[in-house]
A = this chain, B = another copy of it.
Amino acid sequence: MTELPERALQLIVSYDGTNYAGWQIQNDQRTIQGALERTLLKITGEKIRVTGSGRTDSGVHAIGQVVSFRMQSQLSPDVMRRALNAELPPDIVVQSARNAIPEFNAIDCAIKKRYRYLLQEGRIDDVFSRQYAWFVKKELNFAAMQAAAQHLIGEHDFASFESVGSERMTTVRHVFDVQVLRSERHEFDKVAIEVEANGFLYNMVRIIVGTLVDVGKGRRPPEWVAEVLAAKKRTAGGMTAPAHGLYLLRVDYPETCWLD
């Protein structure tokens, strides 16, 4: 009888989600989890199951997805990082690897997460962002979007910001921060919406973005967001913004999770 591996690793992983059917393994589809597990098998000879802090959907990107797994191999974190980057497809990059406590799990141990959503506003699309930002063919009222975003901060029932059909114990989440920021890429103006919370419901960021864009377009006043929250039903809010503008930016854990 072999002993269960006691060694756990944490990876911070970036990926361009364009050519993947999302994070989670599915038969006959290219997935991020599938690519990582296949590469780990190749490097270590071990059949390793990895856990991602969030199961990003098809087309969603990650700047700092966190991945946990256990293994027998005694290779150092930096050797693992370099071996993974040598073998992974070029649209998945391991930013860092570190030793974690044996019970470390990327989902259960997470304290908070931060997502970014990129919008491309204006008359003309940016060819370099067609898979990396949502093109909104209108100038957005930036101040109105910032005012609207304030209503989301704090502990609220976000039932209106969850796709129907999801099953959760509770739809209450604590949003610590929402920022509406100007950003620039290749001469084309962008608006970045960043949301940080202790947890996210299914499609929560994309529905927040769809709702804030209705405010930015002048269809609704900033105060409408408070009404949407109070309604506690999905139909109250704006559309679900498309997947390709969304980035998992960062996941935070207690410092006690790390061994180095």
Contacts and interface: CB of A to CB of B under 8 A. Distances in A.
Given A64-B187, A90-B130, A93-B126, 17 more contacts: A14-B126, A14-B128, A15-B127, A16-B127, A16-B130, A61-B128, A63-B187, A90-B125, A91-B130, A92-B127, A93-B124, A93-B127, A95-B124, A128-B132, A185-B185, A186-B247, A187-B249
A18 to B, nearest CB: 9
Chain A binding site: helix, strand, loop or mixed by DSSP?
mixed
Contacts of A14: 126-128
Contacts of A130: 16, 90-91
A69 to B, nearest CB: 20
B16 A128 contact: yes
Nearest to A123: B95
Nearest to A187: B63
Given A186-B63, A187-B63, A127 B247 contact: no
Given A63-B186, A187-B63, A90 B127 contact: yes
A249 B125 CA distance: 16
14 contacts: A14-B128, A16-B127, A16-B130, A63-B186, A63-B187, A64-B187, A85-B125, A90-B130, A91-B130, A93-B124, A93-B126, A93-B127, A95-B124, A186-B247
A125 to B, nearest CB: 5
